[in-house]
Amino acid sequence: TTHGVDFSMPASVKVVADEDVVEPAIGGIGFVLKAGEQWIKPVEGADATVRFSCQGRWKGEWATVADKIVEQETTWNQMSLKRRYENCLAFVDGWEKQSEGMAMRRLPSWSTLVHVDARQAVWSRMPSMPLVELPDEDKIKSSKEEFWSWIFVWQRFSFMRLLTWERNTCTQPRMLAGTTNQITLRMAELWKAHPRCRMWIRWTLATMGRGGSAGQAIRDQILVIMHGHDIKEIHGTYYEQWHQKLHNNTTPEDIGICRAIIKYLGTGGNMAEYWKVLHEHGIDKERLASYSRPITTEPYMVNTDIPRLIRDFEEYLGILRSVHDALDLQLALDHAKANLPGSIQGKLQGVCNMGGTGFANLDEGHGKFLKIADAREEMLAMLNKKDTPAHVVKDLLILDFTLETQQSVLVQGMTDEQRLPQLCDQLKVMVTSLVGHLPMEDELQAILSDWMSFAPTCATQKWNDPTESALLLKAMSDRMSRVVGELSDKCQSLMGPKAAFLGEAIDAPQRNIDVFVDEILRGSSLMAVSLALQRLEPVLRALAHLPPWQMISPVDKPVQGELKLIDKMLHIQDKVFETPTVLLSGAVSGEEEVPDGVVGVLVRSAKEAPDILSHCAVRARNFGVLLATCFDPAISASLATDFEGKWVEVRCKADGTLTVQEAKRPEATAEADAKASDKDATNTEVKMNLSDSLGCAWVVRPDEMDKKAVGSKSLNLALLRPKLPADILTPQAVALPYGSMQKALTDAKNEKTVLPKLQKVLGQLQPSTSNDKATAVFEEARQLVEALSMPESLKLALQSSMDEVGKQDGEDRLRQLFQVRDGWEAIKGVWSSLFAIRPWVSLAKAGRSFHDLNMAVLVQELVEAKYAFVLHTVNPFTHDKDELYGELVAGRGESLVGNYPGRALSFAMKRGGEPRLISFPSKSVALHTQHCLIFRSDSNGEDLEGFAGAGLFESICAEEDKGGFLRLHRLGVVTDRDYRQKLLKRIAEVGWATEKAFGGAPQDIEGCIDVKDRVFIVQSRPQV
- The pTM assigned to this predicted structure is 0.79
Residue 128: beta bridge partners?
none
pLDDT for 705: 94
Per-residue pLDDT tens over the stretch 24-55: 777 667 777 777 788 777 665 556 666 666 56
Per-residue pLDDT tens over the stretch 504-550: 999 898 888 888 888 888 878 888 998 899 899 889 988 988 888 88
Q: Indicate the pLDDT class of residue 282, thresholds 50, 70 and 90.
A: confident
pLDDT for 1: 53
Per-residue pLDDT tens over the stretch 830-885: 999 988 887 777 766 666 666 677 899 999 998 889 999 999 999 988 889 999 99
What distance in Å separates the CA atoms of residue 325 and residue 304, rounded to the nearest whole number? 30
Per-residue pLDDT tens over the stretch 436-484: 999 888 999 999 999 999 999 999 999 999 999 999 999 999 999 889 8
What distance in Å separates the CA atoms of residue 110 and residue 113, rounded to the nearest whole number? 5
Residue 651: beta bridge partners?
659
Q: What is the mean pLDDT of residues 726-745?
A: 93
Neighbours of 982 (CB within 10 A): 12
Q: Indicate the pLDDT class of residue 673, thresholds 50, 70 and 90.
A: very low
Cα within 13 Å of Cα(875), Cβ side: 19
Burial 656-681 (b: 16+ CB within 10 A, else e): bebebeeeeeeeeeeeebeeebeeee
pLDDT above 60 (res 342): yes
Residue 933: beta bridge partners?
861
Distances (CA, A) of 451 to 318, 459, 967: 39, 11, 10
Backbone phi and psi for residue 1005, each to the nearest 5 degrees, phi listed first: -120, 135
Beta-carbon contacts of 126 under 8 Å, excluding residues fewer than 6 positions away, are 928, 962
Share of the chain above pLDDT 70, in %: 85
pLDDT above 60 (res 945): no
Q: Which stretches of 281-361 are DSSP H helices?
A: 285-289, 306-324, 327-336, 342-352
- What is the residue-averaged pLDDT of the chain? 85
E strand or H helix that includes residue 404: helix 390-413
What distance in Å separates the CA atoms of residue 390 and residue 383, rounded to the nearest whole number? 10
Per-residue pLDDT tens over the stretch 145-204: 999 999 999 999 988 878 887 777 766 656 777 888 899 999 999 999 998 899 999 999
pLDDT above 70 (res 568): yes
pLDDT for 969: 94
Question: Which own/partner pairs from 83-90 qualify as long-range (CB within 8 Å, at least 24 positions apart)?
Answer: 83/169, 84/155, 84/158, 84/163, 85/179, 85/180, 85/182, 85/183, 85/208, 86/179, 88/151, 88/154, 88/155, 88/183, 89/182, 89/183, 89/186
pLDDT above 90 (res 800): yes
E strand or H helix that includes residue 600: strand 596-603
Q: Cα–Cα–Cα angle for 1008, 1009, 1010, nearest 5°?
A: 110
Residue 378 near residue 497 (C-beta atoms within 8 A): no
E strand or H helix that includes residue 557: none
pLDDT for 127: 55
What distance in Å separates the CA atoms of residue 206 and residue 328, rounded to the nearest whole number? 13
Q: Which residue has the higher pLDDT, 869 or 587?
A: 869
Q: What is the mean pLDDT of residues 952-975?
A: 88
pLDDT for 930: 78
pLDDT for 611: 64
pLDDT above 70 (res 136): no
pLDDT for 578: 85
Q: What is the mean pLDDT of residues 228-246?
A: 91
DSSP string, 852-867: G--EEEEEEE---EEE
